[in-house]
Protein backbone atom coordinates (compact mmCIF):
# COMPACT_ATOMS: atom_id res chain seq x y z
CA UNK A 1 0.00 0.00 0.00
CA UNK A 2 1.30 3.41 -0.97
CA UNK A 3 -0.16 6.74 0.06
CA UNK A 4 0.69 10.38 -0.37
CA UNK A 5 -0.01 13.07 2.17
CA UNK A 6 -2.20 15.97 1.14
CA UNK A 7 -0.45 19.27 1.63
CA UNK A 8 -2.22 22.58 2.22
CA UNK A 9 -0.52 25.90 1.55
CA UNK A 10 -2.44 29.06 2.35
CA UNK A 11 -1.07 32.21 0.75
CA UNK A 12 -2.17 35.25 2.71
CA UNK A 13 -2.71 38.18 0.37
CA UNK A 14 -4.04 40.91 2.64
CA UNK A 15 -4.88 41.73 6.25
CA UNK A 16 -7.84 43.79 5.12
CA UNK A 17 -11.09 41.79 5.38
CA UNK A 18 -12.61 43.93 2.61
CA UNK A 19 -10.07 42.65 0.07
CA UNK A 20 -11.39 39.60 -1.79
CA UNK A 21 -9.86 37.12 -1.86
CA UNK A 22 -7.74 37.79 1.24
CA UNK A 23 -5.97 34.44 0.83
CA UNK A 24 -5.52 31.63 -1.67
CA UNK A 25 -5.52 28.00 -0.53
CA UNK A 26 -3.41 25.52 -2.49
CA UNK A 27 -3.75 21.75 -2.14
CA UNK A 28 -1.15 19.33 -3.51
CA UNK A 29 -1.45 15.56 -3.93
CA UNK A 30 0.13 12.74 -5.89
CA UNK A 31 -2.86 10.62 -6.98
CA UNK A 32 -0.84 7.59 -8.02
CA UNK A 33 -2.87 7.46 -11.28
CA UNK A 34 -5.91 6.41 -9.24
CA UNK A 35 -9.22 7.97 -10.29
CA UNK A 36 -10.90 7.26 -6.94
CA UNK A 37 -8.08 9.04 -5.12
CA UNK A 38 -8.30 11.99 -7.51
CA UNK A 39 -12.07 12.31 -7.17
CA UNK A 40 -11.84 11.99 -3.39
CA UNK A 41 -9.24 14.73 -3.31
CA UNK A 42 -11.40 17.05 -5.42
CA UNK A 43 -14.45 16.35 -3.28
CA UNK A 44 -12.46 17.25 -0.16
CA UNK A 45 -11.06 20.32 -1.88
CA UNK A 46 -14.50 21.80 -2.59
CA UNK A 47 -14.49 23.26 0.94
CA UNK A 48 -10.76 23.36 1.67
CA UNK A 49 -8.88 24.63 -1.41
CA UNK A 50 -9.02 27.15 -4.24
CA UNK A 51 -6.32 25.60 -6.42
CA UNK A 52 -5.64 21.84 -6.49
CA UNK A 53 -2.23 20.81 -7.82
CA UNK A 54 -2.06 17.14 -8.75
CA UNK A 55 0.82 14.92 -9.78
CA UNK A 56 0.23 11.55 -11.46
CA UNK A 57 -3.47 12.28 -12.03
CA UNK A 58 -5.71 9.58 -13.43
CA UNK A 59 -5.60 9.81 -17.22
CA UNK A 60 -7.85 7.65 -19.37
CA UNK A 61 -7.57 6.42 -22.93
CA UNK A 62 -6.59 8.55 -25.90
CA UNK A 63 -9.62 9.95 -27.74
CA UNK A 64 -9.05 10.21 -31.48
CA UNK A 65 -12.26 12.22 -31.79
CA UNK A 66 -11.15 14.90 -29.31
CA UNK A 67 -7.42 14.63 -29.97
CA UNK A 68 -6.73 14.38 -26.25
CA UNK A 69 -6.66 11.96 -23.35
CA UNK A 70 -9.82 11.33 -21.35
CA UNK A 71 -9.72 13.18 -18.02
CA UNK A 72 -12.07 13.26 -15.06
CA UNK A 73 -13.80 16.55 -14.31
CA UNK A 74 -15.57 18.06 -11.32
CA UNK A 75 -18.50 20.45 -11.28
CA UNK A 76 -16.80 22.77 -8.76
CA UNK A 77 -13.48 23.12 -10.61
CA UNK A 78 -12.05 24.06 -13.99
CA UNK A 79 -9.36 21.70 -15.27
CA UNK A 80 -6.01 22.94 -16.60
CA UNK A 81 -3.53 20.62 -18.31
CA UNK A 82 -0.07 21.14 -19.81
CA UNK A 83 -0.35 22.32 -23.40
CA UNK A 84 1.39 19.18 -24.65
CA UNK A 85 -1.31 16.88 -23.26
CA UNK A 86 -2.58 16.18 -26.78
CA UNK A 87 0.56 14.18 -27.53
CA UNK A 88 -0.70 10.60 -27.50
CA UNK A 89 2.78 9.21 -26.76
CA UNK A 90 3.21 11.01 -23.46
CA UNK A 91 0.44 11.34 -20.90
CA UNK A 92 0.32 14.49 -18.76
CA UNK A 93 1.78 13.84 -15.32
CA UNK A 94 0.43 17.03 -13.74
CA UNK A 95 -3.01 18.63 -13.65
CA UNK A 96 -4.47 21.67 -11.92
CA UNK A 97 -8.06 22.24 -10.85
CA UNK A 98 -9.19 25.80 -10.10
CA UNK A 99 -12.27 26.53 -8.02
CA UNK A 100 -15.16 28.16 -9.85
CA UNK A 101 -16.37 29.85 -6.64
CA UNK A 102 -13.76 32.64 -6.65
CA UNK A 103 -14.56 34.95 -9.53
CA UNK A 104 -11.77 37.35 -8.51
CA UNK A 105 -9.12 34.61 -8.78
CA UNK A 106 -7.49 34.17 -12.19
CA UNK A 107 -5.16 31.29 -13.03
CA UNK A 108 -3.63 31.40 -16.50
CA UNK A 109 -1.33 28.72 -17.97
CA UNK A 110 2.02 30.09 -19.15
CA UNK A 111 3.48 27.51 -21.56
CA UNK A 112 5.44 30.38 -23.09
CA UNK A 113 7.59 30.32 -19.94
CA UNK A 114 8.15 26.55 -19.88
CA UNK A 115 6.28 23.92 -21.89
CA UNK A 116 6.44 20.35 -20.59
CA UNK A 117 3.92 17.53 -19.90
CA UNK A 118 5.46 17.05 -16.44
CA UNK A 119 5.41 20.73 -15.44
CA UNK A 120 2.76 23.42 -15.31
CA UNK A 121 3.65 27.09 -15.05
CA UNK A 122 0.63 29.09 -13.92
CA UNK A 123 0.25 32.82 -13.40
CA UNK A 124 -2.05 33.46 -10.45
CA UNK A 125 -3.63 36.86 -9.96
CA UNK A 126 -6.35 38.37 -7.82
CA UNK A 127 -7.92 41.81 -7.93
CA UNK A 128 -5.82 44.30 -5.98
CA UNK A 129 -2.77 42.04 -5.69
CA UNK A 130 0.44 41.41 -7.59
CA UNK A 131 0.42 38.22 -9.62
CA UNK A 132 2.80 35.36 -8.89
CA UNK A 133 4.04 32.30 -10.75
CA UNK A 134 3.09 28.84 -9.53
CA UNK A 135 5.09 25.81 -10.68
CA UNK A 136 3.36 22.42 -10.45
CA UNK A 137 6.05 19.75 -10.89
CA UNK A 138 6.24 15.98 -11.15
CA UNK A 139 9.89 14.97 -11.20
CA UNK A 140 10.42 11.82 -13.27
CA UNK A 141 12.41 10.62 -16.26
CA UNK A 142 11.11 11.81 -19.62
CA UNK A 143 10.53 8.90 -22.04
CA UNK A 144 12.36 10.48 -24.98
CA UNK A 145 15.51 11.74 -23.28
CA UNK A 146 15.62 9.95 -19.90
CA UNK A 147 16.26 13.37 -18.35
CA UNK A 148 14.54 14.08 -15.06
CA UNK A 149 12.01 16.90 -15.04
CA UNK A 150 14.19 19.05 -12.80
CA UNK A 151 17.15 18.65 -15.13
CA UNK A 152 15.09 19.96 -18.04
CA UNK A 153 13.53 22.75 -16.00
CA UNK A 154 16.57 23.99 -14.12
CA UNK A 155 19.25 23.39 -16.77
CA UNK A 156 17.54 24.69 -19.89
CA UNK A 157 15.57 27.56 -18.38
CA UNK A 158 16.42 30.76 -16.51
CA UNK A 159 14.34 30.16 -13.39
CA UNK A 160 12.65 33.20 -11.77
CA UNK A 161 13.68 34.24 -8.27
CA UNK A 162 10.81 36.57 -7.31
CA UNK A 163 7.03 36.19 -6.98
CA UNK A 164 7.32 32.43 -7.38
CA UNK A 165 6.00 29.34 -5.58
CA UNK A 166 7.23 25.84 -6.42
CA UNK A 167 5.06 22.86 -5.44
CA UNK A 168 5.19 19.22 -6.42
CA UNK A 169 6.25 15.63 -6.03
CA UNK A 170 9.99 16.03 -6.40
CA UNK A 171 10.98 12.35 -5.99
CA UNK A 172 14.23 13.58 -4.51
CA UNK A 173 16.05 12.95 -1.25
CA UNK A 174 18.20 15.54 0.51
CA UNK A 175 19.12 16.41 4.13
CA UNK A 176 17.56 19.86 3.68
CA UNK A 177 14.11 18.31 4.08
CA UNK A 178 15.01 14.86 5.39
CA UNK A 179 18.03 14.74 7.66
CA UNK A 180 18.15 10.93 7.67
CA UNK A 181 18.71 10.64 3.92
CA UNK A 182 21.81 10.83 1.73
CA UNK A 183 21.98 13.31 -1.15
CA UNK A 184 20.75 12.19 -4.59
CA UNK A 185 22.11 13.65 -7.81
CA UNK A 186 18.86 15.16 -9.07
CA UNK A 187 18.11 16.45 -5.57
CA UNK A 188 21.31 18.46 -5.82
CA UNK A 189 19.96 20.03 -9.01
CA UNK A 190 16.88 21.21 -7.15
CA UNK A 191 18.78 22.38 -4.08
CA UNK A 192 21.35 24.31 -6.12
CA UNK A 193 18.62 26.21 -7.95
CA UNK A 194 16.57 26.92 -4.81
CA UNK A 195 19.62 28.07 -2.85
CA UNK A 196 20.89 30.24 -5.71
CA UNK A 197 17.50 31.95 -5.89
CA UNK A 198 17.23 32.23 -2.08
CA UNK A 199 14.03 30.20 -2.00
CA UNK A 200 12.53 29.22 1.34
CA UNK A 201 11.51 25.61 2.08
CA UNK A 202 7.93 25.61 3.39
CA UNK A 203 7.90 21.99 4.55
CA UNK A 204 8.50 21.11 8.15
CA UNK A 205 11.85 19.25 7.96
CA UNK A 206 11.63 15.47 8.44
CA UNK A 207 7.80 15.46 8.30
CA UNK A 208 6.97 12.49 5.99
CA UNK A 209 4.83 12.99 2.90
CA UNK A 210 5.17 9.47 1.45
CA UNK A 211 4.13 6.24 3.18
CA UNK A 212 4.54 2.68 1.87
CA UNK A 213 3.89 -0.60 3.65
CA UNK A 214 6.58 -3.14 2.78
CA UNK A 215 5.28 -6.67 3.24
CA UNK A 216 8.72 -8.27 3.00
CA UNK A 217 9.81 -6.58 6.21
CA UNK A 218 6.32 -5.91 7.66
CA UNK A 219 7.32 -2.30 8.09
CA UNK A 220 6.12 1.15 7.09
CA UNK A 221 8.54 3.10 4.92
CA UNK A 222 8.32 6.88 5.23
CA UNK A 223 9.97 9.60 3.20
CA UNK A 224 9.75 13.27 2.29
CA UNK A 225 9.04 13.64 -1.43
CA UNK A 226 6.33 16.32 -1.74
CA UNK A 227 7.87 19.77 -1.35
CA UNK A 228 6.90 23.44 -1.41
CA UNK A 229 9.22 26.43 -1.84
CA UNK A 230 8.62 30.16 -2.16
CA UNK A 231 10.79 33.06 -3.23
CA UNK A 232 12.02 35.35 -0.46
CA UNK A 233 9.71 38.22 -1.43
CA UNK A 234 6.73 35.98 -0.58
CA UNK A 235 8.16 34.68 2.69
CA UNK A 236 5.77 36.65 4.89
CA UNK A 237 2.71 35.50 2.96
CA UNK A 238 2.54 31.70 3.11
CA UNK A 239 1.45 29.53 5.97
CA UNK A 240 2.13 25.85 5.39
CA UNK A 241 0.42 22.90 7.04
CA UNK A 242 -0.32 19.26 6.31
CA UNK A 243 -3.57 17.39 6.89
Give yes or no for residue 124 having a pLDDT over 90.
yes
Mean pLDDT value across residues 79-104? 85
More confident site: 68 or 82:
82
More confident site: 5 or 193:
193
Q: How far is Cα 50 from Cα 101, in angstroms, rounded to an integer?
A: 8
Mean pLDDT value across residues 27-50? 91
DSSP 132: E
Q: For 5-16, b where at least 16 C-beta lie within 10 A, e where not — what string?
A: bbbbbbbebeee
Average per-residue pLDDT for the chain: 83
Q: Interior CA angle at 117 toward 113 and 123, to 5°? A: 35
CB of 93 closer than 8 Å to CB of 124: no
Query: For residue 149, what pLDDT is reported?
Result: 92
Give the lowest-confidence range in 91-100, 173-182, 210-219: 210-219
Mean pLDDT value across residues 38-46? 93
Give yes or no for residue 106 having a pLDDT over 50.
yes
Task: Grade residue 87 by pLDDT with cuts at 50, 70 and 90.
Answer: low
Query: For residue 16, what pLDDT is reported?
Result: 46
Q: What is the set of domains in the chain, with CATH numbers?
A: 2-242 (3.60.10.10)
Give yes or no for residue 239 having a pLDDT over 90.
no
- pLDDT 10s digits, 8-32: 677 766 554 444 556 788 999 999 8
Q: How far is Cα 67 from Cα 119, in angstroms, rounded to an integer?
A: 20
- pLDDT 10s digits, 135-167: 999 999 887 778 899 988 988 778 999 999 999
Query: For residue 243, what pLDDT is reported?
Result: 36
> pLDDT > 90: what percent of the chain?
40
Amino acid sequence: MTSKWRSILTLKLSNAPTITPSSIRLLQLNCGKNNNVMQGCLETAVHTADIVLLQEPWVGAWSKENGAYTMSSHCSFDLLLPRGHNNNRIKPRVATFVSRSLSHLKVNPRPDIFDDPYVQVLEVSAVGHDSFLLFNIYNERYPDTQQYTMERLFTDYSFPTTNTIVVGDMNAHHPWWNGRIEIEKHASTLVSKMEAGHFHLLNEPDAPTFFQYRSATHSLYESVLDLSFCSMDLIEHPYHASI
